[in-house]
Amino acid sequence: MVVRKDIVAVSIPFSAGVVTAALLPPGGDVPYWLAAGSCLAAAALSCLYAGRGDRSGTVLLLYFVLGLFCHASAAARGPGAGGWAGAERALAALLRAIDGAGFAHDSTAALLRALLCGQRDGLDRATVEAFRAAGASHILALSGLHLGILYGILQGALSVLGHSRPAQLLRSVAAVGAAAFYLAMTGASPSLVRAFLFILFNELARLMPGRRRQPLNIFCAALTLQLAVSPGVVGSLGFQLSYLAMLGIVLVFPRLDAWYPRSTRWDPLRRLWSAAALTLSCQAFTAPLVWIRFHTFPRYFLITNLGAMPLTEAFILCALPALLPGCPAGIKKLADTLGQLLVSFLGTVASLT
């Protein structure tokens, strides 16, 4: 067997090692030093054995053992340090801007606080229940969806710089820097970290002329780095759902999307099919885990996502300029209308369940 010398060959056994360590019983029965020492001994024996027999199997075993040891050492270190004071001040300023924007409905400001800052305490119980029943709870929880929308807005705003090499470099630095700051500002949830790593590796690949961006390589690079830095995150439901959804997008979406032929002219049905294919690809990988954990399945997930996703993106797109001083009243009114429409739409879908 020949080992593939790429990130995929590294990521799979390493991730398997981290997952295996996470599934082992807590360290109360087995001292940490014994577990870590056993992992190191296994790694050393594997290195000695590398000169004999099947090298490829040994390399895979080494990465697997590295994953085991990485999770064990992280568990021994305990929780990390607190947040960055500058990011916390920026979050407080953003919350003040939302509260002082002067939206006609208080629920619009509460919805924006949830979507941009992850603070859902201002939402009433009926709204939260409508999101849950309609299968749209992921919209309220800060995730790669929100960072992806903000990333798209920033890329669109910076497109005026052109396509020269310096402009591309400036756009990449601005995108990665803004994503990193937003990550620090909102608490760096596992799904947000995943989205940031995707942005980082995507921009790095973009700056390498002549090299194709391989989605599976970006997926595996992000997974491996996140698990290496914070292996304990493997037990987070948000982490699991985020990577499962992206795995569906990487493996299934291109094939589903290709069923509808592309055209040189603008085709609304083609865009609708692409959105539906994206939703189906994510759901195919996340639904089993949701069923195992919660014994529920959103029957109208396709309708929910086809309607709620563009409404959410349009709402954020209009609400951001509404936070700036001197913003025209028309934009604030439009943002308020879109926020109310999003809640109303999900309430209607929830009533069908």
43 in any annotated domain: yes
Q: Which long-range contacts (CB under 8 A, 24 or more apart) does 96-103 make?
A: 97/323, 98/323, 101/319, 101/322, 101/323, 101/327, 101/332, 102/332, 103/322, 103/332, 103/335, 103/336, 103/339
For residue 190, give the nearest of 249, 132, 252, 147 by alpha carbon: 147
Q: Which residue stretches of the chain have pLDDT < 70?
A: 1-11, 14-15, 17, 19-85, 209-212
How many beta carbons lie within 10 A of that of residue 332, not counting itself? 20
292 in any annotated domain: no
Range of the domain at 16: 7-77
| Alpha helix stretches (DSSP H) within the chain | 7-23, 32-49, 55-77, 85-99, 106-117, 125-133, 137-140, 144-158, 165-186, 190-206, 215-229, 237-251, 253-257, 268-294, 301-322, 329-351
Q: Assess contact for 52 and 212: CB atoms under 8 A.
A: no
Q: Assess contact for 142 and 179: CB atoms under 8 A.
A: no
**Using CA atoms, how far apart are residues 168 and 161, in angstroms rounded to an integer?**
8
How many structural domains comprise the chain?
1
168 in any annotated domain: no
How many beta carbons lie within 10 A of that of residue 294, not counting itself? 9
Q: Assess contact for 131 and 156: CB atoms under 8 A.
A: no
**pTM to 2 decimals?**
0.79
pLDDT for res 169: 85
pLDDT for res 27: 45
337 in any annotated domain: no
Burial per residue of 127-154, b for 16 or more beta-carbon CB atoms within 10 angstroms, e otherwise:
beebbbbbbbebbbbbbbbbbebbbeeb
Q: Which residue has the tokens 């029943």?
A: 133
Residue 5 is encoded by which pair of tokens?
Answer: 């010398």
26 in any annotated domain: yes
Q: Hey, what amino acid is at 172?
A: S
How many beta carbons lie within 10 A of that of residue 96, not counting itself? 11
31 in any annotated domain: yes
17 in any annotated domain: yes
21 in any annotated domain: yes
For residue 134, give the nearest of 327, 300, 277 by alpha carbon: 300
Residue 275 is encoded by which pair of tokens?
Answer: 């959105």
pLDDT for res 249: 92
Collapsed DSSP state (helix, strand, coil) of residue 236 = coil
